[in-house]
Structures are given as C-alpha cells and as structure tokens.
Amino acid sequence: MPIIAPSDLRPQNRRRSKRIQLRVAIVVRLRDAGNLSTSEKTEAIIVNNHGALILLATAVKPNQIIRIENVNSREELLCRVTSLGETFMGKTQVGVEFVVPTPGFWPAPPKPKKAEAAPDPTKTKPAEAGPTATAAKPKKVESTDTLKK
C-alpha cells in the first residue's frame, strides 16, 4: 500500500490536531436514559485540541452531548460522543470531540528528556590509580623430610 501525503487525503480522513497520550483526571456530567443528571470521575487517556479518548463506565450513545471538566484547571466543556470502543473491566473507550475546539484545555505534555549521548572514548579520563590486586602468596609447604623429624 503506497504512503499518501496528508495533503492528498480526503478532508474527512485528515487529523485536525496531533493526538497525545496523556492521562488527565476528568469529571464527566451527562443525562442518562431516564433523563437523570449523573456524573462520573474518570480519566482521558489520549487527548488533542479537538477532543479526547476517555474511559467511561456510564453508558452513552454516539452523538450524545456530555460535559467534561478538567479536574486540574476546573474548566468545563461541552462535548459530543463520536465513537464507542472496546470495554474492559467495566469501562468503555469513548471518543469525544469538543463542540468548540479548545486548544489549551488539556495540560501541555511533559517535554521529552534529551537522551544522554554516549561518552566520547577519545575524551575519557585515564583510570584512576587505586588499590591494585595483589597476587595470593603461595603457602610454604614443608617437605616430608622435615615432618618426619
């Protein structure tokens, strides 16, 4: 299969913003099937400027409107359920998109640490002089002649 440049993709297949794997504590608020208001503390596991993939135990349907609160910033946004994924241990992966794209709703991901370069062997310091290993001295063995005396 040939590699297709993003500019050649159909608009509906283009990613609008980069996905970032980042766990963020959230509170989801919604109306259940009985039109009762409910909330659930959970987390987003993948985020971007247009939405997230969240874990949710409460049942939702595609196109349902929910509210997500970022626990750290206390900011809350309206979202639309876009997809339902696999369920594991009672929680379903739920794709949501912000009704209004909101860059900055999620915290900035930690910057990757720079990999330490391997030491340059031409610039290594000579080994410091330390205690040298001493060879074990052989034990004096008396001849059998001296033992007989």
Q: Is residue 47 part of a domain?
A: yes
pLDDT value, residue 143: 57
Q: Are 52 and 62 in contact (CB under 8 A)?
A: no
- Give the range among 30-39, 49-58, 78-87, 133-142 with minimum mean pLDDT: 133-142
What percent of the chain has pLDDT above 70? 62
- C-alpha–C-alpha distance, residues 120 and 122, integer Å: 5
Q: Is residue 31 part of a domain?
A: yes
Q: Is residue 129 part of a domain?
A: no
Element (H, E) at 92: strand 91-98
- C-alpha–C-alpha distance, residues 131 and 58, integer Å: 68
- Residue 29: alpha-carbon gap to chain centroid: 25
Cα distances (angstroms) measured from residue 119 to each of 23, 64, 128: 35, 56, 17
Q: Per-residue pLDDT tens for 95-109?
A: 999 999 888 888 876
Q: Is residue 126 part of a domain?
A: no
pLDDT value, residue 20: 78
Q: Is residue 48 part of a domain?
A: yes
Give the domain range for residue 53. 15-98
Task: Say which residue, 38 or 15, is predicted with more confidence.
Answer: 38
Q: Is residue 141 part of a domain?
A: no
- Phi-psi domain of 74 (left: phi exceeds 0; alpha: psi -120 through 50; beta: other): left
**Is the per-residue pLDDT at 141 higher than 80?**
no
Task: Give the count of domains, the chain.
Answer: 1
Q: Tell me the residue ranges of DSSP E strands in 5-90.
A: 20-31, 37-48, 51-56, 65-70, 76-88
pLDDT value, residue 128: 54
**Is the per-residue pLDDT at 1 higher than 70?**
no
Q: Hey, CA dihedral for 52, 56, 61, 64, is it positive or negative?
A: negative
pLDDT value, residue 15: 56
Average pLDDT of span 69-84: 95
**Is the per-residue pLDDT at 90 higher than 90?**
yes
Q: Is residue 115 part of a domain?
A: no
The domain spanning residue 37 has which CATH number?
Answer: 2.40.10.220
Q: Rounded to two decimals, what is the model's pTM?
A: 0.63
**Is the per-residue pLDDT at 92 higher than 90?**
yes
Average pLDDT of span 61-79: 95
pLDDT value, residue 35: 83
